[in-house]
Amino acid sequence: MGETLTENEITLIYGGSNIGLMGEIANSMIRRNGNVVGIIPQVLVEKEVAFTHLQDLRIVNSMHERKALMAELADGFISMPGGFGTLEETIEMLTWTQLGIHEKPLGLLNVEGYFDRLCEFIDHMVSEGFLVQGFRDMVLMDDDPGGLLEKMLKFSPPQIDKWWEDKKG
């Protein structure tokens, strides 16, 4: 992923840690002279997980401030395998697109089928009538970083009035 972002001259805006997959991607990009921006709350700096060697490390007061700044600076979002935080941020960015707060693409890098069951659940939401297909279609997924970026570049936000759909009855 880091190599693909660097080759395409895409800046990585991420949570600013030196651990986990995102720490590895940041390191990969730095080795290739890629541009990396880290945004981390003070509480995580105190836990010594901040990537202090970044040229652009921004320390904020809270997780909410971190997510808001990341969303503001990013042109799109890529989720990789992760835990609760990844899931929460993924769903929040999809919700913001659904509500028209932003029109940015979100892609799932589906490493070894990691997101298959999440997409099955999202399909279940559609079949149960809790989500319209147009919003399901905004969940982009690929197992190849280059293929995922290509899909994201072609993204067009759904032109659906969520509230009208609910009122149709």
* Mean pLDDT to the nearest integer, 88-92: 95
Summarised one tens digit per residue, pLDDT across range 11-61 is 999 999 999 899 999 999 999 999 999 999 999 999 889 998 899 999 999
3-state secondary structure the chain: CHHHHHHCCCCEEECCECCHHHHHHHHHHHHCCCCEEEEEEHHHHHCCCECCCCCEEEEECCHHHHHHHHHHHCCCEEECCCCHHHHHHHHHHHHHHHHCCCCCCEEEECHHHCCHHHHHHHHHHHHCCCCCHHHHCCEEEECCHHHHHHHHHCCCCCCCCHHHHHHCC
For the chain, list the domains and their CATH numbers: 1-74 (3.40.50.450), 75-160 (3.40.50.450)
Strand order in the sheet with 12-14: 12-14, 36-41, 56-60
Query: Which pLDDT score is estimated for 169?
Result: 44
pLDDT for position 165: 53
The reported pLDDT for the residue numbered 141 is 98
- The residue ranking higher by pLDDT, 86 or 160, is 86
Closest CA to 34 of 62, 54, 60, 63: 54
